Amino acid sequence: MTNTVVVTGFEPFGNSTINPSQEVVNKIKEMQLDGLKVETAILPVVFGESSAKLLKLVDEIQPNFVICLGQAEGRSVISVERFAINLNDARIADNAGNRLSDQEVIPGAPLALSSTLPVKDIVQSIKDAGIPAEVSLSAGTFVCNHIFYALQHKLQVTNTKSGFIHLPVLPEQSEFQGKPTMELDQMVAGILVAIRSIISN
């Protein structure tokens, strides 16, 4: 039986012209992975629009697994998120100029929802491959967390396993001078390990 996995990234945002999550997804899109059907998408960094596109994709494809990727400037390792929180609270405006503050992602829904991916196993598998990784408790309160929460809320009564992984910035992102970076090939390798870990679980 062939498993179907959806892997998403984001377009650049803020002062950036590149987003590591988009670059990783573009690399994975070109690959043939044994026993896997991989569907990919690049999401807009816009509250509402991003989650609508993601949930529509999930409805259309009905995947076994969903892995969403995003950029986290300041982080030095691949961070596998444990919880999505029901809060939109933006430090900067999204790509449509929205700067939401103290708003629930889904009004009246639980404060937090857990990833349904094997978070600790994924992190250990990535570390075993010689790539820095960590368990992270929260995906923040920007658009990354927004789609993560919307996704977990939608899929909580289904058999589809889903979650979110944050990536460091790339060395060529000079707008983040002084921030930790990771090479693209290492990120791609780490996410491929994560996919295999998820399937084997």
SS (H, E, C) 41-85: EEECCCCCHHHHHHHHHHHHHCCCEEEEEEECCCCCCEEEEEEEE
Q: Which domains does the chain have, with CATH numbers?
A: 3-200 (3.40.630.20)
Catalytic residue among 144, 146, 153, 183: 144
Compute the average pLDDT of residues 18-39. 94
**Residue 35: per-residue pLDDT:** 85
> Is the per-residue pLDDT at 1 higher than 90?
no
> Is the per-residue pLDDT at 34 higher than 90?
no
pLDDT tens, residue by residue, 165-196: 999 999 999 999 999 999 999 999 999 999 99
Catalytic residue among 23, 68, 153, 166: 166
Does 39 qualify as catalytic in the annotation?
A: no
| Percent of the chain at pLDDT exceeding 70 | 100
Residue of higher predicted confidence among 104 and 2: 104
Helices (H), the chain: 20-29, 49-61, 119-128, 143-155, 184-200
Compute the average pLDDT of residues 36-57. 97
Sign of the Cα torsion 100, 106, 107, 113 reads: negative
201 pLDDT tier (thresholds 50, 70, 90)? confident
Does 68 qualify as catalytic in the annotation?
A: no
Whether 184 and 27 have beta carbons less than 8 Å apart is answered as yes
Does 144 qualify as catalytic in the annotation?
A: yes
